[in-house]
Amino acid sequence: MSAVVSAAALAVIGALFPTTPANAAPSDCAAGTACLFKDYEFQGEVLRLRPGCYNLPSQYNDTASSVVNNTGEMLTLYQNYNGRGKYVNIWPNTSDNRLDYEIIYNEDNTFFGWNTFNDRASSYCLR
């Protein structure tokens, strides 16, 4: 009986203090935008990206684990700030639910190989 009461009490608390949705999805990244997620499967904190080339804010540095590119532009994620270091291309209108098995290029645009890019992105270009 007490368990029923507790559940009812929790339901009331939930109604009073609604939480953010637990399950994010690529559709949470609006059409025409690109987004980085801190966790796999489009979970965790999301950062919406702007057209152009930028360093990631410090709180998002080396945290991206999944990505959505709902734009017609190429999204390039770089391992270092200022578009430096190894990089991975996220093609237009694609998403990647786990940045852990990627085609990686060296800074000189030569092919590096397949490797993880999880928690590595520090800057990006969307163009």
**Positions in the binding site for Ca ion (CB under 5 A):** 62, 79, 120, 122
**Alpha helices of the chain — where are they, by DSSP H?**
2-16
Least Å distance, CB 30 to Ca ion, is: 26
Residue in the shown chain whose Cβ atom is closest to Ca ion? 122
Name the β-bridge partners of 114. 103
The least distance separating Ca ion from the CB of residue 56, rounded to whole angstroms, comes to: 8
DSSP 61: T
Instruction: Give the residue among 83, 31, 25 at the shortest CA–CA distance from 52.
Output: 83
92 or 104: CB nearest Ca ion:
104
Cβ distance to Ca ion smaller for residue 33 or 55: 55
